[in-house]
Structure 1
Amino acid sequence: MRLPPLPFETKPVRRLHRPSPQELWAQQEPVVLTGCMDDWKLLHELKARATPEQKLAVLGSRFGTQTVEYHRLPGHLGGHYHFQKENLEGVTFSGPQAGVTFDTFAGELLRSLSGASSDYVYLQSHAVEPGTALFEALGPNVLPVLHEQQVFPKLWVGSPGQVVNLHYDDFINFICMLEGTKRVTLFAPELLPFMYHAPFDRMLNQAMASHVRLLEPDLESFPLFRQALSEARVAVLEPGEVLFTPPFWWHHVESFGLNVMINNWLFREHLDEVVEMQGDLTQAIRLFHARPAGQRDRARALYQRTVFAPGAASAPEPAGSTEQEEPGLAEHRARTRALVARLPEALRKQHALYYDHFVFQTSGEPFPSQPGALTAMVERNAHAPTFFLRD
């Protein structure tokens, strides 16, 4: 399929054919995997059908009477799941329509595909339960690189033009294409200072997100984003291809044609460690957000030397580290040292990046598209255990 060009230059994401688990888990960057869906019954069944009606009938036959929920976006929104242009506190979508059969959803999707309706419809993140006909139509353990305890497939089905704007997950994501085309534009975690991060408690469907609209970047309102654009990477996925995305990589997803995919989110690190990171970051922001810049700079130098430098957290505390440090700050740094000593390298690097940007404010205002948003986030969550509010 010929896709509309992006308004900026990109680098292609590397491809691997049927990597071994050892080869895949060594990857630190996104890769497109080929040959890993060859055993999927559902992929072959969809390829064998010629029309959207026939393809959706195949899916419907594996749902039976099981109910689903889906989102509907009015045509004037252009399929964008994002923050509102005029109000960054609001989003373009509302709650899903729930409790309908797959066939009812498929009827609405066909109306969208045929042009009888200008609405965009999207079934998102439907859990595919073991033992169901749909689960049995996937490959063994979904992908050859996974074992049974890592299998958590979710189904996504939608009309053309859906755009899930820039966001990131704190876990691994596999996108497995069954029908249609997806274009995924990615940015490395280290580009955080240029991404115009939204406040932690203002997520897009449970994901950390950017205020930038990638397809029409307003570089007057978001000038720092120019530095991220020069590092953009793109993966175009066709049926039978899989995108492996490591944690914390920003990604923007466009859908073309009738779109069907399975994704599988995976925590390789223990979820409790990520939750503990979020609690530690919350406390650090509360301790430092209102302090003078000079004090934050001195604290950053101390944390860099005693907490985040390679091996520092597991080494003895350097002599004189706590001199003139307030008791509350010293106690927090000691707890952070203990946490970082337990974290795997990838999470340690992300935690250090979070501290630089949100705690020590090395790039200035942490939420530059909303001046004052850091203080506002702290105030509205004064009694919450964490700023990372999830269901």
Structure 2
Amino acid sequence: MTQKSAIREITGTTLASLTPADVAGDRPVVWRNLANDWPVIQQARESDADFIATLCSYDAGLPITLYRADASADGRIFYNDDMTGFNFSPEHASFAEFTAQLLNPKEANDTLYMGSTMLSRWFPAFSQANPLPLASLHPLVSLWVGNQSHVAAHFDFPDNLAIVIAGRRRFTLFPPEQVSNLYIGPLEFTPAGQPISLVDARNPDFTRFPRYKTALEHAITVELEPGDALYIPSMWWHQVESLAPVNGLVNFWWRSTPHFLGNPFDALRHCLLSVGQLPAHQRLAWQAMFEHFVFNRADDTFAHIPEHNRGAVGEIDETTARRLRADLLNKFNR
């Protein structure tokens, strides 16, 4: 492992002993050999062909979406040169067809990548053979398979536990406060749904992106092999390099608040709409409002308001959330 900042590493833990408290912090954690007991990982250690055959045995037979980029992309999943589109194209195939291409040396110059694909729907037999942890968190569990590729730094709102099941992956992680130094691209027009850094991390242009040097001073870089796991806290930026000819990963996403409270990214976009274009002095005024009502709130911030009259500043249950959402939708549609 190479690193610019320290990361906690744990050995001797098994998936069966992993608890929600282990994955509830605000710093990344690595568990070495966490999932060694999974048969799929044991097969991956035998050969790429054995690994693929094991995955195919779990396949429900539904078409999957894969992404292909030619040799000019050099494995980078990104925009095209003028950012009018992307340097890859989606294709639909059976998982068997995709993996046959993955193992075919004639396809070696193309980047082949199957992104987040839900185990429960596409590979329901996986969890029977390889018991999944953290059931009490009700995570969304996904499978990722491909050859050598590089995915730019991006964030996820949910917490994330990533387990390498084949090949080798290098993660570079940046704390949330480094967002201003990562040169984030468009919020809506994105390669895979999340905004990404426009810096080519393997060959950074410090003339164009000088603040990226500061981001690197705070970065954590770690390499994972089959059986290793990485906890990525909510909102930590992470770039991912798949380093072997065949790579596989299973990841778990979950959130620490109920789904009915919505996604803060939606609030960010609404804030850009309603606040982002205001004069500077008004934006500062609204910054003070957000600091008071949202970011610096404490248990006693609203104690002066009778509990039954606190509304949105009080405890929000599902009924209150529905009422707030309906009121907002009504205002949006005016």
Question: Residue in 2 aligned with 1:200?
Answer: 187
Instruction: Give 1:169 deviation, angstroms.
Output: 0.7
Instruction: Give 1:168 deviation, angstroms.
Output: 0.8
Q: Provide the C-alpha distance between the structure 2 equivalents of 1:261 and 1:124, rounded to a whole number of angstroms.
A: 10
Q: Provide the C-alpha distance between the structure 2 equivalents of 1:230 and 1:307, rounded to a whole number of angstroms.
A: 30
Q: Provide the C-alpha distance between the structure 1 equivalents of 2:86 and 2:300, rounded to a whole number of angstroms.
A: 40
The structure-2 alpha-carbon separation of the partners of 1:89 and 1:270, relative to structure 1 and needing over 3 Å to count, comes to: farther
Point out which structure has higher relative CO (alpha carbons under 8 A, 6+ apart).
Answer: 2
Question: Residue in 2 aligned with 1:120?
Answer: 111
Question: Residue in 2 aligned with 1:106?
Answer: 99
The structure-2 alpha-carbon separation of the partners of 1:249 and 1:338, relative to structure 1 and needing over 3 Å to count, comes to: farther
Question: Residue in 2 aligned with 1:360?
Answer: none
The structure-2 alpha-carbon separation of the partners of 1:244 and 1:234, relative to structure 1 and needing over 3 Å to count, comes to: same
The structure-2 alpha-carbon separation of the partners of 1:230 and 1:79, relative to structure 1 and needing over 3 Å to count, comes to: same
TM-score w.r.t. the length of structure 1 is 0.70
Contact 2:33 2:226 in 1 (8 A): no
Instruction: Give 1:43 deviation, angstroms.
Output: 1.7
Q: Does 1:138 align with 2:130?
A: yes
Task: Show structure 2 runs of 5+ residues with no match.
Answer: 317-331
Among candidates 115, 120, 123, match of residue 129 of structure 1:
120
Moved more, 176-185 or 215-224: 215-224
TM-score w.r.t. the length of structure 2 is 0.81
SS at match of 1:165: strand
- Identity score, percent: 25
User: How many aligned positions are there?
Assistant: 309
Q: Does 1:97 align with 2:91?
A: yes
Contact 2:40 2:130 in 1 (8 A): yes
Among candidates 21, 24, 27, match of residue 19 of structure 2:
21
Q: Does 1:79 align with 2:75?
A: yes
Question: Residue in 2 aligned with 1:260?
Answer: 248
Moved more, 298-307 or 210-219: 298-307
Instruction: Give 1:280 deviation, angstroms.
Output: 3.6
Q: Does 1:156 align with 2:147?
A: no
Among candidates 39, 51, 60, match of residue 41 of structure 1:
39
Among candidates 47, 57, 60, match of residue 61 of structure 1:
57
Q: Provide the C-alpha distance between the structure 1 equivalents of 2:139 and 2:280, rounded to a whole number of angstroms.
A: 46
Among candidates 261, 278, 284, match of residue 273 of structure 1:
261
Instruction: Give 1:207 deviation, angstroms.
Output: 1.6
The structure-2 alpha-carbon separation of the partners of 1:302 and 1:206, relative to structure 1 and needing over 3 Å to count, comes to: closer
Cα shift readout 1:111-168 (whole Å, capped 9, x = no counterpart): 2xx35541111122222127833332222xx12xx02562432111111x21111111
Cα shift readout 1:342-382 (whole Å, capped 9, x = no counterpart): 58xxxxxxxxxxxxxxxxxxxxxxxxxxxxxxxxxxxxxxx
Contact 1:306 1:313 in 2 (8 A): no
Contact 1:165 1:253 in 2 (8 A): yes
Runs of 4+ with deviation above 6 angstroms: none
SS at match of 1:219: coil
Q: Provide the C-alpha distance between the structure 1 equivalents of 2:83 and 2:299, rounded to a whole number of angstroms.
A: 39
